[in-house]
Structure 1
Amino acid sequence: MDIKILVAAHKEFPMPTEKSLYLPVLVGATKNYKTGIKYQRDDEGKNISQKNPNYNELTAVYWAWKNLEADAIGLVHYRRLFNKSRKRDLNGVLNKDNIESLLNEAPIVLPKRRNYYIETNYSHYVHAHHEEPLNETRKIIAEKHPTYLNAFDNVMNRRSAHMFNMFIMKKSKFDQYASWLFDILFELEKRIDTTNYSVQEARVYGYISELLMDVWIETTGAKFIEQSYFQIGKKHMAKKLYFFLKRKFSSSSTDVTHF
């Protein structure tokens, strides 16, 4: 099986050593002047590299969808990867045999769910980001993909989700997912104004897409298997918790049970 796992990166960083499997991709390459980085650029062929400040690692996903041929395609991040053991370094990442074994069980591999416990996916999002894009996404799904609306509401009211835009999919599933995802995001781009968004909040389409994975999975009934992952470097959990609580209790948004 020909498998390519994209490793989205915006700078040089230690990469998995199995080069026939892992493909480092320089995201936002069209705006990146570090020309000495010998990674696959996301501005070759048909691409949306110039949208990277708003789409994050999805510019690598789009590039792969339009330009890469393989039996299975995946996405990880330079600091967050799937692992096969308790090792939390590059020696513990999945190898080709591991991935083939997983794909023999299900055509899709996702990271283990992230649990929020005291928040729904919707309330967690709007306590961290602008509310309008997520509400507008629901309108787009209602208009363009109405069969996905029940799943969207279900996912928004859950307290866990498959996050980070990490996955490995057989090519047919990948093509279906990418076609659906970018149809929604390109429409959303037409409807919201991010002019006054901060640099962080301008990454809105990347954030929205994290919550759309489970909507697609639930509606299509696609079989998947979960896999553990690890992060290289510090997570700054105390800092994240402080800002999360600050946003939550200063926000007028409340938890929701319907839309």
Structure 2
Amino acid sequence: MQRRKIAEKKMRVVTYISTYGAKCLHKGKGICLEAGAKGRDFFRYPLHDDTGDNISKDNAYYGDLTVLYWIWKNGEKGKGTCISFRHYNKYLMIREKKVLGYLNENPDGWIVARKVSNPPHNFPEEWRSFRKIINEKYPLYFDALRRLYRDDGSGSQCNATNMFITSSGQMHEYCCVLFKICRDLREEVGNTDHKRSDQRYCAFMAERFLSVYLETHHLPRLEVDVCRSSLALYWLRKIAKSAGFSMAWKPVKEAEQLLFRYSRHSSYDDGE
């Protein structure tokens, strides 16, 4: 037991939050990183995805993945570093102590959102291109892709949201594969004239691919609930904080639970 406690103390969790503005649910010690910063001249946070090695200019097609790419290329690394990647409007509901305990017991483990049913992809030609690329260039993953998702992209085994907590080494291995696939997909599909919330086809495919990747490599995973924000909950938390109530204030916690219960959906529905 003592040895485990010592090991856990040596591990640390670095949380990066992909954000598009000032609003951020439960920021805590998280590091906010502005997405889609290329071409802008006003920023709310010191870090944004258009510095260093980046793909910020393609944010319309990658969504929050431009921040994940930045973390992969420019973020903190090293032995004992665990990366938590989340969004401004949602996060994985798990305490840091449990995170450290799980990853200490499972060095190659991943903490991800619970599996959900996902709808068919809105644009069949994009899904066909994704399947074709996996089949022809990354055949290692094709069997799992076929098992988990139907021909229209729908399924019931999707660890959606593009959020996770894992070691920096595991994140590196995943990103090496993910962003090669996304690059090939961008070349295959190109630009689209879809509405903004529908353009993020790389992000939509990545939601599906995480489950495929974990299953293919037989990686241990811990599935947890997701807390999603809403404007009402955002202001409820602001008011509670300004009134001096703890963030553990019972009405706030109950509202979060209700929000999760009735908002368990793919990020297809989460406009930026």
TM interval, short-chain normalised: 0.7 to 0.9
Q: Match for residue 114 of structure 2?
A: 112
Note the residue ranges of structure 1 that are not aligned, 5 or more in a row: 85-93, 245-259
Q: Match for residue 192 of structure 2?
A: 195
Cα separation, 1, equivalents of 2:158 and 2:217:
16
Q: Match for residue 250 of structure 1?
A: none
Contact 2:63 2:203 in 1 (8 A): yes
TM-score scaled by length of structure 1: 0.77
Within the alignment, does 1:180 sit opposite 2:177 as a pair? yes
> Secondary structure of 1:65's match?
helix
Deviations 1:115-140 (A, max 9, x none): x3xxxx4xx223xx111111111111
AA paired with 1:102? Y
Note the residue ranges of structure 2 that are not aligned, 5 or more in a row: 1-10, 232-258
Cα separation, 1, equivalents of 2:85 and 2:76:
14
TM-score scaled by length of structure 2: 0.74
Deviations 1:30-52 (A, max 9, x none): 233433x0242111110111111
Within the alignment, does 1:64 sit opposite 2:71 as a pair? yes
Shift of residue 110, structure 1, vs aligned partner: 0.5
1:5-44 aligned within 5 A: 5-14=15-24, 16=26, 18-19=28-29, 22-35=30-43, 37-44=44-51
Cα separation, 2, equivalents of 1:200 and 1:219:
30
4+ runs of 1 displaced by more than 6 Å? none
How much is the aligned-residue C-alpha RMSD, in angstroms? 2.4
> Secondary structure of 2:50's match?
coil
Change over 3 Å in CA distance of 1:172–1:232 after alignment to 2 = same
Cα separation, 2, equivalents of 1:125 and 1:105:
36
Contact 2:19 2:88 in 1 (8 A): yes
Cα separation, 2, equivalents of 1:190 and 1:223:
33
Cα separation, 1, equivalents of 2:145 and 2:60:
25
Deviations 1:6-57 (A, max 9, x none): 11110012454542xx11111111233433x024211111011111111110
Cα separation, 2, equivalents of 1:76 and 1:60:
10
Contact 2:62 2:202 in 1 (8 A): yes
Cα separation, 2, equivalents of 1:203 and 1:75:
18
> Secondary structure of 2:201's match?
helix
Within the alignment, does 1:167 sit opposite 2:164 as a pair? yes
Q: Match for residue 97 of structure 2?
A: 97
